[in-house]
Copies of this chain bind each other. A is one copy, B any other.
């Protein structure tokens, strides 16, 4: 079974599946594993300097000649340098997050990159289409890390009706059922983040993976709404302190100070006290570490998706 369609044609992958770009988490090891399994593996630049990014791209290219993506976080102090590097390295797919990349799109296109901005509202999606993006990734606020305000169920159809380029659905996708739902809402592909933290090939600390496996439905929190850059992460002593500051003291600066270096402390050291264990709400549904290839296979289990769709159609008839 081949997953044809615009996204596979653009990304040159077997499945219309993009691995989410998660700072510190999405390195060459994870990205190569996903690309080799038929999805689009993505290296996340996060706040890292260009030389780290260049090393990761080289490492990935040593492992596989499959296509891959580079996620550029536009709030990074190195955003512009990494943006230029992406063009120099002729990264197959450039994905931008946490902002408006319009000043870079022409450069990326001239370098032959496919350009796919992450968007969380109609206005940015429409602008991205006008600026020449190949497709957009519409990410609902159930996602982990930096989030917008719209949920996937509303954001996806809103973006689908607003642009004519393809829309990849992100935020809350973790299994074949949610893939089927995304297709029902007009998406042509999906991006999956949190579940790939549980890939064997993901270098995140074992304590990070354990936090995700043990997470209950109400265990993710959103901090930093007061700063204008809200972030979803698993509850922890750090999050309690951030929420206390946010609700009792006020003061965006203190929140940002608390957050500095906290994601690295979670991913690299598994620091339960002061680490930021960023994760989407779907963490509650995840229960095991497994090879990236198994995750890809389960997400795009054709028989499962077909039976989900058939069961939905069956609800139209009497009997269920």
Contact = CB atoms under 8 A, between A and B. Distances in A.
Contact of A122 (B1, B157, B217, B220): B217
Contacts of A2: 317-318
A4 B122 CA distance: 37
A152 to B, nearest CB: 5
Contact of A316 (B181, B184, B217, B306): B306
Contacts of A248: 250
Contacts of A302: 316
Contact of A185 (B5, B181, B216, B305): B181
A131 interface: no
Q: Give this chain's copy count.
A: 2
Q: How large is the interface on A (under 10, 10 to 19, 20 to 34, 35 or more residues)?
A: 35 or more
A141 B315 CA distance: 25
Contact of A177 (B6, B186, B247): B186
Interface stretch (A38-46, A204-212, A281-289): A281-289
Interface of A: 1-6, 16, 121-123, 140-142, 149-155, 157-158, 161, 171-173, 175, 177-178, 180-186, 188, 216-218, 220, 225-226, 247-248, 250, 280-282, 284-285, 302, 305-306, 308-309, 311-313, 315-320
A285 B154 CA distance: 8
Contacts of A312: 180, 183-184, 305, 309
A3 to B, nearest CB: 7
A318 B175 CA distance: 21
A247 B226 contact: yes
B5 A154 contact: no
